[in-house]
């Protein structure tokens, strides 16, 4: 859902307002100036101002749409709902909610992914994947500031990205293949997290450079 547009809007406000509308046109027109102009006409926005709101063209449009999905996802869950769910259920719910939000514009997402896969757009693709993972972890209540802050987001970026790839080609009833794939991936992550906790709790199983070098020097018989 597009955000209401105030009178005499700034370019940032135009960008936020038009992002989901452009996605609705991008499936047919591509992520190009035509989609911007059609969205502007639909929203009653000056087409010149709309073009200025997306100076880099497709990358700016896709960036704004993904930010819209982040915001819609965060707004979809109440504090009471989240409090009643364990963390892994919050993450699962966040991913499925993102798919629900993107579903009406699935073809636009397919085109967006093709653009992000271009070598020149790889830095942006990484930035958007990280931002989405960060939004999901924040929704789940994560407050880690140590190394786990980065490892959690890196792992979730991979889970989310691979799930989207499966969903793009999923023709099963009720998107059952996507849901099953997501649950398997989240199960793998849960096992990995348990293994890390076990290592942290057992000093003898942690990697030690000095112990490793000692074993090289004095191998066990």
Above pLDDT 70, what percent of the chain?
A: 84
pLDDT at 71: 97
pLDDT for 53-77, tens place per residue?
999 999 999 999 999 999 999 999 9
* pLDDT for the residue 54: 98
Q: Are 114 and 137 in contact (CB under 8 A)?
A: no
User: Domain coordinates of the chain in residue numbers?
Assistant: 1-55, 58-205
64-75 CB burial, b ≥16 within 10 A, e <16? bbbbbbbbbbee
With a pLDDT cut of 90, the percent of the chain lying above it is 72
Q: Is the pLDDT of residue 217 over 90?
A: no
What are the pLDDT digits (tens) for 19-57? 999 999 999 989 999 999 999 999 999 999 999 999 999
Average pLDDT over residues 83-99: 94
pLDDT exceeds 70 at position 221: no
| Higher per-residue pLDDT: 191 or 24 | 24
What mean pLDDT is predicted for residues 68-93?
94
57: region left, alpha or beta (phi > 0 left; psi from -120 to 50 alpha):
left
Quick one: pLDDT at residue 208?
47
CA dihedral 190, 194, 197, 199 (to 10 degrees): -130
Neighbours of 27 (CB within 10 A): 18
Residue 206: partners with Cβ closer than 8 Å, 6 or more residues away: 199, 200
CATH match for 58-205 among 3.10.580.10, 1.10.760.10, 3.40.640.10, 1.10.357.10? 1.10.357.10
Mean pLDDT of the chain: 87
Q: Give per-residue pLDDT as tens, 110-160.
A: 999 999 999 999 999 999 999 999 999 999 998 877 888 888 899 999 999
- pLDDT on residue 211: 47
Q: At a CB cut-off of 8 Å and minimum separation 6, what does 73 contact?
A: 94, 97, 98, 101, 135, 136, 139
Residue 6, pLDDT above cutoff 80: no
103, 92, 65: which is closest to 187 by C-alpha? 92
Predicted pLDDT at 143: 83
């Amino acid at each position: 859902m597009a955000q209401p547009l105030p009178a005499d809007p700034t370019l940032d406000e135009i960008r936020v307002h038009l992002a989901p509308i452009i996605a609705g046109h991008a499936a047919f027109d591509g992520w190009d100036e035509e989609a911007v102009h059609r969205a502007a006409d639909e929203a009653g926005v000056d087409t010149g101002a709309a073009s200025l709101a997306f100076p880099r063209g497709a990358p700016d449009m896709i960036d704004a749409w993904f930010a819209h999905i982040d915001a819609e996802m965060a707004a979809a869950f109440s504090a009471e709902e989240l409090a009643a769910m364990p963390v892994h259920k919050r993450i699962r719910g966040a991913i499925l909610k993102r798919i629900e939000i993107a579903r009406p514009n699935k073809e636009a997402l397919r085109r967006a992914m093709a653009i992000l896969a271009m070598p020149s757009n790889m830095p942006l693709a990484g930035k958007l994947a990280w931002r989405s993972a960060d939004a999901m972890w924040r929704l789940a209540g994560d407050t880690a500031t140590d190394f786990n802050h980065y490892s959690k987001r890196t792992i979730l970026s991979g889970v989310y990205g691979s799930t989207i790839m499966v969903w793009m080609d999923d023709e099963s009833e009720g998107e059952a293949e996507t849901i099953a794939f997501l649950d398997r991936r989240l199960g793998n992550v849960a096992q990995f997290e348990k293994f890390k906790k076990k290592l942290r709790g057992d000093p003898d199983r942690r990697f030690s450079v000095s112990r490793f070098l000692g074993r090289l020097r004095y191998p066990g018989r």
